[in-house]
Structures are given as structure tokens and as C-alpha cells.
């Protein structure tokens, strides 16, 4: 079972205590796939291709209207492999009453209007996600989306995201409106407000592990780069010292520079700090750097050896 399916299973078990929130969540299911059918508006239908959504719709209806008669129909969709679930309110009177309650909730004055209460906004997004939402496995990437082929519904969902401080965006994919989040922190925020706390904890654990791996990789890459830089500089120093040895001999060097040259030839791969610790007496890194710089400048001033491997040290930028 994927991360998205587990998240929906968790949300199906979340039932608000306040009536206004239950109506708000039921409204989300109606906005996506709900219809008032019949010549005299006899039936109120909720469609879904998800058994989880159908189960949540039934739970909300039975909790809000315990005396209402409902019927659940299961049909195989044409040209599709999955089934379509229809939850139908059979009484015309109850259908009208439920429809009226869903369409008479307190709304904001903005365009498009959204539910006024924050708790109802959270419940609306919960229903929207169960109905047409998905979230990618956070091990791969961070991506959560809710899709709708109804422009008004998509606009309402986007406005509800924004009303809750979520920086969602909307695009179109094959003619379907898609509201999405791509930031891990924003997805965590959404899972929190709609009540998917187990999914939130799992996502946060993955975010921490990925952050640690990224930090380790950065440190390893930085250390590798430093080692490469140290080795490259050390090999250049060895070649320049050998050039001095070939042209004039190390015995002609001042005693301090001669000692540095001999230690470097004996330990060609260690850093300047480690090289300074091998000196007698030990020398600081800055002192070692000063003496090595004098040696390399002297080596560059001499003619390169004929057997040097194609590396020219005539460029002072090295």
C-alpha cells in the first residue's frame, strides 16, 4: 500500500465532532462528484471511484442525518478497470434538506468565497483530499495535489488552501485543474490541518533522514575536495623541489628551506599542518606555508625538467 492510500485511510477515520465541520467535509464530496437528480430533484447522489471516499460519505450522512435512508450502488465504469461507487439519498425531502444545509454555510466575501470558519476550511480540504487527492512517496520527492475537472471547485479548493496559509498553486494537466504543493514543509502543514498525523510523522521522519543524508554527502564532498586540493598542491611542491634538486642541489638551499624540502620529499601526501608537526623543532602551519612558498617560487624560476609529465609551472596563478 502506497503512502497516499495510507494517508487517505487515516483521514477516513477522522470524524469531526462539530456539525458545521461534518457538513463542510460532506460539501467537499458534493463539490467534486455530487448531483441533485430527478425531475423533481428526487435523489442526492455522491459519486466516487474510491471505496474509502464512499465509506466516509456514508459515515458523514449517517452521523448528520441518522433517520435518512441511503443506498450504495457499485458499478463498473465503462472503458475503465475500476468501479464507481454511488451513495444515494433516497428521500426527496431529505435530499432537499441536505442540499440546502450544504449551500447555506457561512462564507467569506472574497471571490471565490470559501467557508468562513477555519475549522470548516480544514474539514473541507480533508474531504477534497479523500475525494481527489494524492501525495507522492516522500522517499522520492515532495508532491501533493488535488485535481478537479470543475473550474469552480478547483478555484474554491485553491482559495481554501490560501486561506489556511498554504502556498498552493494551480495548473492544468490534460484539461484537468490540479492544485498542488511541492514544498515538504507546506505538505507537513496541510497534513497537520486535515488531521493526518501519522502520515505527518512518517513524512517528518523521512525529511529528517533525507536532511541528514544530504548533510553527510555535503561534508563528504567538501572533505574530498579538500583532500584533492591538498594532494594536488603537495605533488606540485614535490615536483618543484625536485626541479631545485636537479638544477642546483638541495645543499645550496638555506638550512630552513633545505629541511622543509627534505621533509616534503619524505612525506609527499601529507598536509602543510601535518608537515609542520614533523619538523624539528615543530613549525606552525603559517610558518610552514611561508617557507614552502619561498621554495615553490624558487622552483618556478628554474627551467622545467624534461621528464616532468606535461605540467607547466610557468603560470604564476598555480
- State pLDDT tens for residues 226-235: 777 888 888 8
| Residue 151: strand, helix, or coil | helix
Q: Same domain, yes or no, for 171 and 243?
A: no
Q: Can you give the pLDDT at residue 212?
A: 81
Strand duo 43-48 + 144-148: pairing? unpaired
Q: Same domain, yes or no, for 232 and 100?
A: no
Dihedral of the CA atoms 179, 180, 185, 190 (nearest 10)? 40
Q: Same domain, yes or no, for 151 and 21?
A: yes
Q: Same domain, yes or no, for 158 and 16?
A: yes
Q: Can you give the pLDDT at residue 80?
A: 57
Q: Can you give the pLDDT at residue 124?
A: 96
Q: Can you give the pLDDT at residue 40?
A: 66
pLDDT tens digits, 25-58: 999 999 999 988 776 667 899 988 888 899 999 9
- Contact residues for 55 (Cβ-Cβ < 8 A; gap 6+): 12
- Residue 314: pLDDT band by 50, 70, 90 thresholds? very low
Whether the pLDDT of residue 201 is over 60: the answer is: yes
- Residue 311: pLDDT band by 50, 70, 90 thresholds? very low
Q: Same domain, yes or no, for 143 and 281?
A: no
- Across the chain, mean pLDDT equals 87
Q: Can you give the pLDDT at residue 245?
A: 86
- Residue 308: pLDDT band by 50, 70, 90 thresholds? low
Q: Same domain, yes or no, for 189 and 242?
A: no
Q: Are 138 and 183 in contact (CB under 8 A)?
A: no
Q: Same domain, yes or no, for 154 and 290?
A: no
Which residues span the domain enclosing 117? 3-195
60 assigned to some structural domain? yes
124 assigned to some structural domain? yes
pLDDT tens digits, 225-282: 877 788 888 888 888 888 888 888 888 888 888 888 888 888 888 888 888 888 888 8
309 assigned to some structural domain? no
C-alpha cell at 72: 450504495
Q: Same domain, yes or no, for 163 and 292?
A: no
pLDDT tens digits, 62-116: 999 998 888 888 887 665 567 888 899 988 889 999 999 999 999 999 889 999 9
C-alpha cell at 167: 502556498
- Residue 318: pLDDT band by 50, 70, 90 thresholds? very low
Domains identified in the chain, total number: 2
Q: Same domain, yes or no, for 253 and 188?
A: no
Q: How far is CA 234 from CA 17, 107, 221, 241, 314, in A?
A: 71, 72, 20, 11, 17
Across 231-243, b (16+ Cβ under 10 Å) vs e yields eeebebbbbbbbb
| Residue 170: strand, helix, or coil | strand
Q: Same domain, yes or no, for 138 and 231?
A: no
pLDDT tens digits, 124-156: 999 999 999 999 988 888 999 999 999 999 999
Amino acid at each position: 500500500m502506497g503512502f497516499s492510500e495510507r494517508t487517505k485511510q487515516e483521514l477516513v477515520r477522522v470524524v469531526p465532532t462539530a456539525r458545521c465541520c461534518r457538513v463542510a467535509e460532506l460539501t467537499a464530496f458534493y463539490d467534486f462528484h455530487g448531483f441533485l437528480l430527478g425531475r423533481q430533484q428526487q435523489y442526492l447522489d455522491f459519486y466516487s471511484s474510491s471505496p474509502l471516499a464512499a465509506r466516509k460519505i456514508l459515515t458523514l450522512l449517517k452521523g448528520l442525518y441518522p433517520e435518512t435512508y441511503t443506498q450504495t450502488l457499485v458499478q463498473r465504469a465503462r472503458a475503465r478497470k475500476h468501479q464507481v461507487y454511488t451513495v444515494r439519498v433516497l428521500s426527496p425531502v431529505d435530499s432537499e434538506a441536505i442540499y440546502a444545509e450544504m449551500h447555506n454555510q457561512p462564507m467569506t466575501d472574497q471571490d471565490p468565497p470559501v467557508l468562513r470558519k477555519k475549522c470548516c476550511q480544514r474539514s473541507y480540504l480533508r474531504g477534497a483530499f479523500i475525494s481527489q487527492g494524492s501525495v507522492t512517496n516522500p522517499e522520492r520527492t515532495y508532491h501533493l495535489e488535488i485535481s478537479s475537472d470543475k473550474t469552480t471547485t478547483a478555484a474554491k479548493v485553491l482559495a481554501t488552501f490560501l486561506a489556511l496559509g498554504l502556498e498552493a498553486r494551480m495548473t492544468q494537466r490534460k484539461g484537468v485543474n490540479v492544485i498542488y504543493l511541492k514544498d515538504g514543509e507546506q505538505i507537513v502543514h496541510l497534513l497537520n490541518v486535515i488531521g493526518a498525523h501519522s502520515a505527518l510523522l512518517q513524512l517528518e521522519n523521512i525529511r529528517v533522514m533525507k536532511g541528514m543524508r544530504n548533510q553527510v554527502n555535503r561534508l563528504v564532498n567538501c572533505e574530498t575536495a579538500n583532500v584533492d586540493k591538498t594532494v594536488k598542491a603537495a605533488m606540485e611542491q614535490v615536483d618543484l623541489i625536485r626541479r631545485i634538486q636537479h638544477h642546483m642541489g638541495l645543499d645550496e638551499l638555506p638550512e630552513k628551506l633545505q629541511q622543509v624540502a627534505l621533509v616534503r620529499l619524505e612525506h609527499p601526501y601529507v598536509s602543510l599542518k601535518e608537515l609542520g608537526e614533523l619538523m624539528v623543532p615543530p613549525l606552525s602551519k603559517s610558518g610552514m606555508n611561508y617557507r614552502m612558498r619561498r621554495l615553490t617560487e624558487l622552483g618556478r624560476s628554474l627551467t622545467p625538467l624534461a621528464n616532468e609529465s606535461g605540467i607547466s609551472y610557468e603560470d604564476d596563478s598555480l
